[in-house]
Amino acid sequence: MDQWYDGCVSKFLHAFSSFFFYLLGGSFFVAYLLVRNEVGAPWAVWWLKVADLPLIAVAILYGGTSLYLSVKRKEGVSWPLFIFIALPLFALFLFLCALNFWGILGFPQAAQI
């Protein structure tokens, strides 16, 4: 039961995250083209500012599940491998969130010339 459950969940997360990764990535590409050509600029600029963290989260989930599925053995759940992959990716996501909200969190900033 555990082997079937792990295979279904990890493959579902991989498929789910890949769909949204390509969807959000494509929308960023289209929004950039709209901003660059000065068509629909307010909504495209808003989208580029707002949807960066969801794209990062989906990209990390997609990359993590891809790595987990390619490295793990076929039988059962590999919890050490899961933790070994998930902890650095979670730390990377927290670091990118901190960079995204750097000014709001009150961290020191470089002087602007």
Q: Provide the pLDDT for residue 24.
A: 96
Q: Which amino acid is at 58?
A: V
Averaged pLDDT for residues 9-37: 94
Quick check: 1 pLDDT over 50?
no
Contact between 76 and 2 (Cβ < 8 Å): yes
Q: Which amino acid is at 31?
A: A
Rama region for 40: left / alpha / beta (φ>0; ψ in -120 to 50; rest): left
d(CA 38, CA 101): 27
Most confident of 5-14, 71-80, 88-97: 88-97
Contact between 77 and 2 (Cβ < 8 Å): yes
Contact between 25 and 58 (Cβ < 8 Å): no
